Chain A
Amino acid sequence: MTEYLQHGRVRLALHCLQPARDSGSHALLLLHGLGESARAHPPNLYAEWPGAVHALDFTGHGASSIPAGGGYSCEVLMGDVDIALARLGAATVCGRGLGAYVALLIAGARPKKVRGAVLLDGPGLAGTCATSSPYIPQVQAGAAATPDPFALAELATDARPPEYAAHYATLSREFSALANPLAICTREQPPWLQAVRLLLACDAANPVKACMSYAVMPSAAALP
């Protein structure tokens, strides 16, 4: 089942991949990589999740609408996720590639709503950093179908300074109810992710186990 949510002038597609088996459990929200869609997530990743499993198509991807003239940033995609969280309530987020970086941002921005963020390998994980040469992405024409070429061009070159990523990781650590709000399961280690790893001991070997570690929230007494 797919429902559509309005984010400004963009219509976002939020897909329900699996209904909740335990009505008391919170949702798992899956975030795809650059150029992908909700179909990118392997079922074995979320099959054991007790709550509902949803997957969001970012702006310009999958069944979400394509804005005219580009203007993409990872902050806008963080806004996409925030719109989805307003619909779902508190959730664990699990992102691939570009979606992993967005998962970090929303974990820092909404630490009370994000019940753990799992960061996985996938397309568009790296972005660029401050020392990259100035570049203005151009495409030949607007798109009739997703993924929007502007999204591919702009989000592949979106700046992700390590200190900026570390700031969001710090916010997540300081304000989350969880002792370990981030779980990193990536082979690729771009500079922004290295900065997060240096800051937090958050490596996890297995994506399924990393997700499931957030399936049950600790009791209030156990929270830091």
Chain B
Amino acid sequence: MSGIQETYLRDEAQAPALPDDKAFDFFPGARAPDRQSMVDVFGVRIATYEWGAADAPPVLLVHGALDFARTFDVFAPLIADAGYRVVSYDHRGHGDSSPAALYGWVADERDLLCVADAVSRQPMPVIGHSKGGSLLIHAIEALPHRFTRFACIDGMPFRSPHPDTAMHERRYMTPEVISKWLDNRHLSAEAERKPGSLQALAARRARLNPRQSHEWLCYLVSKGAYQQGDGWRWKLDPAIRPGGFGVMRSRWMTDRLPGFPVPLLALFSTIDEPMGWDCKLADLIDYLPASAQAVAMADTGHFIHIERPRQTADLIIDFLRS
């Protein structure tokens, strides 16, 4: 967080000045959801969004870390227009879902399953981006009967370059990292997101999403932030910290990939960027099941579906219909 605060003024100064926030309520190709609802997951209210006919076959669409469902406003309608009921949701503490006292991988997976149950008790196809992809990998491995197909957008579990997990612990769970994580928990009860103008929030996010246009990021602010007297704030629980902490699970999931139980389409980025998933097709090719389709998207960053919505949707629609 300190990094964000340190560069805040510079970001705001660099942001091009446009007079009216309402100019960013719309973005070419973006379409608001046709329906919105809430699912109560044991006291945590999860906001859901749907594009497409309510009686069309459902597809569940899961966003990544620090994102929210409305980031699919361009991509989801393309899938819906192919004849699907596309359902997405905000993870707990993200977007319009309620904050929670606790956050964790298993809780995120259970929220996902409760949303899936609310959509249909029948097995369904799923699409996941980034962390949403890895959540689905594990959920499908645990409950293969609930899912029919899986399209993963730059969210396959990455393979640590280190030969053993102990090396990972030494490198990433340093005393400083652990202390900082614990220190933050002392402050999380009173923490607040830093306010700013709509364009300042967009400029801040541009540091994490450098390949996305300022206009698109402003559109995201208009959907993923709220406005108060002192400015806009992202709808993201300040208790949520970027990056993982604790046990490293990714390698376990890659070891199980050869036996992955449903048809798999895996799309990979080819350009590194700050929020990237650090997972390349070449790293995983030996772990993918023989039936999997894998595509490395040329000259594309982590947000494949935002950079190339039409191409991504066409690949996934073909996969869903195959």
Q: Which residues of A contact B (CB under 8 A)?
A: 6-10, 59, 67-76, 78-79, 82-83, 86, 108-111, 130-131, 133-139, 141-142, 150, 154, 157, 159-161, 163-164, 166-167, 171, 175
Closest A residue by C-beta to B164 = A163
What are the residues of chain A within 8 A of B1 when measuring CB–CB? Answer: none
A164 to B168 CA separation, bound complex (whole angstroms): 9
Q: Can you list 22 A-B pairs with a CB-CB distance of less than 8 A?
A: A7-B185, A8-B185, A8-B188, A10-B102, A68-B101, A70-B106, A70-B107, A76-B102, A79-B182, A82-B185, A82-B186, A109-B175, A109-B179, A109-B182, A110-B182, A136-B113, A138-B110, A159-B249, A163-B164, A163-B166, A164-B173, A171-B175
* B252 nearest CB neighbor, chain A only: A130
Task: Knowing A7-B185, A76-B102, A82-B182 are in contact, say whether A167-B173 is a contact too (CB < 8 A).
Answer: yes
- Having A69-B44, A136-B106, A138-B110, one finds 7 other A-B pairs with CB under 8 Å, namely A9-B239, A69-B102, A70-B107, A73-B102, A109-B178, A138-B113, A161-B247
Q: How far is the CB of B82 from chain A (nearest CB, A)?
A: 30
A-contact 0/1 string along B30-57, CB 8 Å cutoff = 0000000000011110000000000000
Chain A nearest CB, measured from B163 CB (Å): 12
A-B contact count (CB 8 A): 132
Interface residues on B, range: 35 or more
Residues of B within 8 A of A111 (CB): 175
B 69-111 contacts with A by CB, 8 A: 92, 99-104, 106-107, 109-111
B270 to chain A: closest CB distance in Å? Answer: 29
Contacts of B92 in A (CB 8 A): 69, 71
Of A8, A69, A142, A166, the contact of B107 (CB 8 Å cutoff) = A69
Q: When A8-B185, A76-B102 are in contact, do A68 and B178 touch as well, CB less than 8 Å?
A: no
Contact of B42 among A69, A79, A86, A167 (CB under 8 A): A69
The reply on B17 being an interface residue by CB < 8 A is no
The answer to whether B44 and A68 have CB atoms under 8 Å apart is yes
In the bound assembly, the distance between CA atoms of A133 and B102 in angstroms comes to: 24
Give Cα distance in the complex from A189 to B169, angstroms. Answer: 22
Given A8-B101, A109-B179, decide whether A69 and B43 contact each other with a Cβ distance below 8 A. yes
Q: Does B12 contact A (CB under 8 A)?
A: no
Q: How far is the CA of A9 from the CA of B101 in the complex (A)?
A: 5
Q: Which residues of A contact B111 (CB under 8 A)?
A: 69
**Are B42 and A70 within 8 A (Cβ)?**
yes
A138→B146 CA distance, assembly (Å): 15
Which residues of the partner chain B approach A9 to less than 8 Å between Cβ atoms? 99-101, 189, 239
- The answer, among B102, B107, B139, for a CB contact under 8 Å with A59, is B102
Q: Report the Cα distance A128→B42, complex, angstroms.
A: 25
Residues on the B chain within 8 Å of A175, using CB = 175
B295 within 8 A of A: no
A-side contacts of B185, CB under 8 Å: 7-8, 79, 82-83
Tell whether A6 pairs with B189 under 8 Å between CB atoms, given A68-B101, A71-B101, A138-B110: yes
Q: Which of B41, B99, B107, B181 has the most CB of A within 10 A?
A: B107
Other-chain contact of B142, A59, A136, A142, A154 (Cβ < 8 Å): A136
